[in-house]
Amino acid sequence: MPVPVVSVAQMRQWEQASWSAGRTEAAVIARVGACLAAWLRRHVPHNDRILILAGKGHNGDDARAALPHLQGRAVDLVEVRDPETALPDLERALARGPDWILDGLFGIGLNRPLAEPWCRLIERINQARSRIVSVDVPSGLDADTGRPWGATLRATCTLTLAAPKQGLLHPAAHTFTGRLEVIPDIGLVPCPIQSELCWTLPEDFLDWPPPRPVAAHKGTFGHLAIVAGSTGYHGAAVLAARAAQRARPGLITLITPASVYAVVASQLQAVMVHPWSAAHPLPGRYTALLFGPGLAAADLPAEIPATLARLWQEANVPIVVDASALDHVPRGPIPRDALRVLTPHPGEAARLLGTTTNEVQSNRVAAVRALSGQFGGAWIVLKGYQTLIGRQHGPIFVNPSGNPDLAQGGSGDVLAGYLAGLCAQPPLQGDPERLIRYAVWQHGAAADALSRRHPAWVVEDLVRTLGRVAPHRVASTARPATPTTPP
């Protein structure tokens, strides 16, 4: 189940519901400590030194509770109840050159501006050049607004507890949170909060896609048609087709302008490739269509946009539209019950909405709602850091996977191809929400897997890795080795 993005007041309400139901703070803190230690054991090389900073509230209790689970590691603990009296201890610990700092100074209890000594302490820690892992919230950040209360630790990673706090998703917070990860199960009762924004977890895909029936054949898994590529952009068609193959629909046909047919066809084997013909625009019966990657050249056959516009309004199969083809999608109603997905990056979204990229980025949820509203309630995948997935109404899902190594030309073509390859499969079409969320999550998770192994990867590597990340392998990397069962 995805978790809601919550305010501090909602988080407090969730905690209260848990205490009322008989869960205890002590048990939750013990479990958080075990989870934090599990994360550190998994991510911190064995000989690296860790400094735990424990503040005066429960955030400090959480960080301190990791200590018993880190035996065999080089760990120092500094208690920071008062910034001035703690400074000598902190300096001594920093002199030992910690590679990592576990930040338990302040969490969601920070509720007023920090006084000067606290700001100095925080800036001193920021200068230490250790990698900072913040517990729940980077210390100094307002968890509701995402803005610093004077000074804030700059984390490499923030392990937020139970659910993401809304301020952590604010653009102003990004430089402080670093990579945002959620430790979903800290022993609270099931979440009583409903929120417009939900955070996707790898756990959401433990049973998805469903196993293939043993007697299945290629007809079981549908036939995807891709209309893509043009002079100067033939690679987009190739990348989209190869990524679609990774989703493993039964058949894939790629239709590409005659000007690039030979170069595109020569790079694909299992994919059937046809030159675009106005007389026979889509030769065959398809279970999904992808229009987009690389349909950008000035000499693009004029019938391609017209065909897209007609099928968007009439076809009863899923249609995914990406990149320059987005400009040819008609506004207004779409067929009832037919899946329609648009995958703009923020620049494309701004163009479609007649606004600026900054405007889109300053309120991405509103951009998703507005775009979907203009295009008949279609699903919108608003790409970028923490890609959003949603429609005019209903929940909007934040994707947690992916990293800046994805910021290279062609990675969007790969996403479009992979997503369309899943859309084409009748056994998967019954749950479009999970299908789209899975495609986006898998795309980002493949990038994360590559970045862990070798940082200089290219989009062709992404295609090879796509589909291979097993959700259970990355599901909450902070699972304690021995689960502590809440009472």
Ligand X SMILES: NC(=O)C1=CN([C@@H]2O[C@H](COP(=O)(O)OP(=O)(O)OC[C@H]3O[C@@H](n4cnc5c(N)ncnc54)[C@H](O)[C@@H]3O)[C@@H](O)[C@H]2O)[C@@H](O)CC1
What is the contact surface with ligand ADP in residues (CB under 6 A)?
323, 345, 383-385, 387, 402-404, 406-407, 409-413, 415, 443-444
Q: How far is the CB of 33 from ligand X (least distance, A)?
A: 9
User: Is 99 marked within a binding site?
Assistant: no
Question: Quick one: tokens of 84?
Answer: 């001035």
Q: How far is the CB of 124 from ligand X (least distance, A)?
A: 16
**SS in 3 state form for the chain?**
CCEECECHHHHHHHHHHHHHCCCCHHHHHHHHHHHHHHHHHHHCCCCCEEEEEECCCHHHHHHHCCHHHHCCCEEEEEECCCHHHHHHHHHHHHHCCCCEEEEECCCCCCCCCCCHHHHHHHHHHHHCCCEEEEECCCCCECCCCCCECCCCCCCCEEEEECCCEHHHHCHHHHHHHCEEEEECCCCCCCCCCCCCEEECCHHHHCCCCCCCCCCCCHHHHCEEEEECCCCCCHHHHHHHHHHHHHHCCCEEEEEECHHHHHHHHCCCCCCEEEECCCCCCCCCCCCEEEECCCCCCCCCCCHHHHHHHHHHHHCCCCEEEEHHHHHHCCCCCCCCCCCEEEECCHHHHHHHHCCCHHHHHHCHHHHHHHHHHHCCCCEEEECCCCCEEECCCCCEEECCCCCHHHCCCCHHHHHHHHHHHHHCCHHHCCCHHHHHHHHHHHHHHHHHHHHHHCCCCCHHHHHHHCCCCCHHHHCCCCCCCCCCCCC
| Of residues 108 and 271, the one with the C-beta less far from ligand X | 108
The partner in contact with residue 200, picked from ligand X, K ion, ligand ADP, none with C-beta cut-offs of 5 to 8 angstroms by kind, is: none
Residue 386: name the closest of 199, 255, 256 by CA: 199
CA distance 152 to 175: 10
User: Is 294 marked within a binding site?
Assistant: yes
The interface region with K ion, picked from 85-93, 98-106, 323-331, 424-432 by CB under 5 A, is 98-106
User: Is 412 marked within a binding site?
Assistant: yes
The partner in contact with residue 103, picked from ligand X, ligand ADP, K ion, none with C-beta cut-offs of 5 to 8 angstroms by kind, is: K ion
CA distance 91 to 78: 10
User: Is 103 marked within a binding site?
Assistant: yes
CA distance 218 to 224: 12
Among residue numbers 178 through 237, which ones bind ligand X (CB under 6 A)? 186
The interface region with ligand X, picked from 101-109, 312-320, 409-417, 468-476 by CB under 6 A, is 101-109
Q: How far is the CB of 98 from ligand X (least distance, A)?
A: 20
The interface region with ligand X, picked from 100-108, 190-198, 239-247, 271-279 by CB under 6 A, is 100-108
Q: How far is the CB of 184 from K ion (least distance, A)?
A: 18
Of 14, 39, 100, 118, which one interacts with ligand X (CB under 6 A)? 118
398, 386 Cβ separation under 8 angstroms: yes
Residue 290: name the closest of 307, 265, 269, 267 by CA: 307
Q: How far is the CB of 206 from ligand X (least distance, A)?
A: 25
The partner in contact with residue 415, picked from K ion, ligand X, ligand ADP, none with C-beta cut-offs of 5 to 8 angstroms by kind, is: ligand ADP
| Of residues 186 and 342, the one with the C-beta less far from ligand ADP | 342
User: Is 18 marked within a binding site?
Assistant: no
User: Residue 309 burial (CB < 10 Å; 0-12/13-18/19+)?
Assistant: middle
Q: How far is the CB of 372 from ligand X (least distance, A)?
A: 34
Of 85, 111, 277, 316, which one interacts with ligand X (CB under 6 A)? 111
What is the total count of residues that contact ligand X (CB under 6 A)?
Answer: 28
Of 13, 57, 263, 477, which one interacts with ligand X (CB under 6 A)? 57
The partner in contact with residue 134, picked from ligand X, K ion, ligand ADP, none with C-beta cut-offs of 5 to 8 angstroms by kind, is: K ion
| Of residues 77 and 462, the one with the C-beta less far from ligand ADP | 462
The answer to whether 374 contacts K ion (rule: CB under 5 A) is no
User: Is 253 marked within a binding site?
Assistant: no
The answer to whether 36 contacts K ion (rule: CB under 5 A) is no
Q: How far is the CB of 28 from ligand X (least distance, A)?
A: 5
User: Is 387 marked within a binding site?
Assistant: yes
Question: Which position has the token pair 């026979």?
Answer: 280
| Of residues 40 and 406, the one with the C-beta less far from K ion | 40
The partner in contact with residue 404, picked from ligand ADP, K ion, ligand X, none with C-beta cut-offs of 5 to 8 angstroms by kind, is: ligand ADP
Per-residue binding letters, 19-38, with ligand X (x by CB under 6 A): ------x--xx--x------
Q: How far is the CB of 116 from ligand X (least distance, A)?
A: 11
Binding residues for AMP: 383-387, 412
Task: List residues forming the annotated binding site for (6S)-NADPHX.
Answer: 58-62, 107-113, 136, 236, 294, 345, 413
For the annotated binding site for K(+), the residues are 59, 103, 139
Q: Provide the binding-site residues for ligand X, judged by CB under 6 A.
A: 15, 25, 28-29, 32, 55-60, 62, 106-114, 118, 135-137, 149, 161, 186
